[in-house]
Structure 1
Amino acid sequence: MAQEVLVVDDQPQIREVLRAFLEADGFGVLEADTGAAAMELVQRRTPALVMLDVGLPDFDGVEVLRRLRALPDRAQAETYVMMVTARNEEVDKLIGLAVGADDYVTKPFSPREVVARVKAILRRERSAAPESQSPRWRFVGLEIRPAERVVEMDGQVLELSALEFDLLSALAEAPGRVFSRAQLLEKVWGYDFYGDARVVDVHIRNLRRKLADDAAEPRFLRTVRGVGYKFIGERA
């Protein structure tokens, strides 16, 4: 069965172009022209990915993304989201990424590039870890259970997005190893990710906030200036 992509945009001509290119690559395409219609479709159909325009007539795409990430159904809440903005302002991109977008694209865009990015996002693995992997990684104050995709800090389960879990796991799997942004993009986002490397910084900030981790005196995630990041949690 073809994977479905939900295109959310109030401009029919943009939806039409994207539909043509996505269907030519074998995707099923759903369409919505408002945030309310997008939320209804996500809950009814659970698309593989949502292309979400920032400027919508009822409420903006960032608010749609917030509501989507808060859905009780985990599969729906973790749907991949590519934000689309016509304003070309850094604040739009960073806010979208901070709320939990997986990627963003700026209008005007090449439909072929958009389809390539959609395919790259959907190639990411969000399934459970293989059985051969250790069932849990224990650090002082933190436990990661890859097979269950659960993180507990000081006995409390953390609400992480799928991408935040993947990023934390990539770092915690090799404590002390320094990963560049490029290496993390390849490991977590996929080798053919087209976006800006600053997406890593945004998701690291989100992780630090949820881990209550002070960047100046980190407990788990340390910035290696000019290089990238490393996990410094102490084995329990």
Structure 2
Amino acid sequence: MRNANVMTASSEGALCSATRRIMLISPMPNRVRNLLAALTDHCFDVFSLHEWDDGMLDSLKPQLVIYDALPIASQPDAYNRWREQELQKASSRMNIPLLLLMPEEERQSLENKASVHVMRWPSEPEAALLEIKRIAERAQDVYDSRRAGESIVFKDLTIDPGKMIVTRGPEQIGLTKTEYDLLLHFITSDGSVQTREALLDIVWGQQFYAGSNVVDVHIKSLRKKLQDNAVSPRYIATVRGAGYRLADQ
């Protein structure tokens, strides 16, 4: 059963001048009903699904996917296995932010261990809205820049997506295509942790069967060309036991 919930008016009754598209996935919609209502009241077009659907994701192309990962008491083991599989699938194939709703105890254990954003749920919808708006705005800025061929700036680096050129001031940094793809992915990932397995799928492709150490080799080469330091990183930080992420702003 699917429900596409599209709202064009705010809670004050005024027409929305602009909307953002979100996909909200929950096997038990009652758990996220208040969040769905708050999002539609704040000019988000929300498409609500009961289960993951790659076809719907490809056709709707949302700016953000919100995924209800709270356990189902009747089948926690099966649900947790299914959740982890879908999470890995999402992190490896999507260039779309993924926000995972989790109970507090599980949220703390998962943070910095997957290429997703994590939010405590249940919580107040108003507090959740602030984080969702921040993630969606960042994703929209990156999307607009890439579509228009505009430069993307991170700290003192400038990326020209059309020409695939990276510069620092007047200096052009000579990167291979793989190094360029890695850097661009980190900069457009909004700081979330990228596992080695996810980077293999995203940058090298799902048909690439080399070990994950190939990621470490290319990260080392990329850092060297960026004059980055693994101990005190400016661009790419190592998350021990998990992978890599964009260094703090």
TM-score (normalizing by structure 2) = 0.55
Equivalent residue in structure 1 for 2:162, among 145, 148, 151: 148
User: In structure 1, what is the equivalent of residue 89 of structure 2?
Assistant: 67
- Whether the 8 Å CA contact 1:4–1:47 is kept in 2: the answer is yes
Percent of residue pairs bearing the same amino acid type: 13
Moved more, 113-122 or 60-69: 60-69
Which shifted more, 153-162 or 78-87?
A: 153-162
Choose from 105, 110, 123 the match for 2:124. Answer: 110
Match of 1:16 among 9, 29, 33: 33
Q: CA deviation at 1:128?
A: 3.1
Q: CA deviation at 1:49?
A: 0.6
Max radius of gyration: which structure? 2
Is the 8 Å Cα contact of residues 78 and 162 (structure 1) preserved in structure 2?
no
1:230 aligns with 2:231: no
Contact 1:151 1:157 (8 Å CA) reproduced: no
Amino acid at match of 1:230: R
Provide Cα deviations, 1:61-95, integer angstroms capped at 9, x if missing partner. Answer: 44323323444xxxxx2112111112523332233
Q: Secondary structure at the match of 1:84?
A: strand
How far residue 154 of structure 1 moved from its aligned partner, in angstroms, is: 6.0
Shift of 1:117: 0.9
Matched, 1:48 2:70: no
Partner residue, 1:32: 49
The reply to whether residue 213 of structure 1 matches residue 213 of structure 2 is no
TM-score w.r.t. the length of structure 1 is 0.57
In structure 2, how many angstroms separate the alpha carbons of the residues matched to 1:51 and 1:15?
10
Distance 1:26 1:55 in 2: 26
Q: Equivalents in 1 of 2:35, 2:65: separation in Å? A: 12
Match of 1:95 among 103, 113, 121: 113
Alignment of 1:118-197 (within 5 A): 118-124=132-138, 125-126=141-142, 127-128=144-145, 145-148=159-162, 150=164, 155-158=176-179, 159-160=181-182, 164-166=186-188, 189=190
Aligned partners of 2:19 and 2:43 also within 8 Å: yes
Distance change in 2, residues 1:43/1:109 (3 Å): same
Once the two structures are TM-superposed, the CA of residue 10 in structure 1 deviates from its matched residue by 1.8
Q: CA RMSD in A?
A: 4.1
What stretches of structure 2 of length at least 5 have no aligned partner?
Answer: 1-17, 72-78, 167-173, 200-214, 237-249
Question: What is the alpha-carbon distance in structure 1 between the residues aligned to residue 184 and residue 195 of structure 2?
Answer: 13
Q: Distance in 2 between matches of 1:45 and 1:165?
A: 24
Letter in 2 for 1:157: T
Deviation at 1:47, TM superposition (A): 1.0
Between stretches 81-90 and 118-127, larger displacement belongs to 81-90
Aligned positions, number: 177
The alpha-carbon deviation at position 31 of structure 1 amounts to 1.3
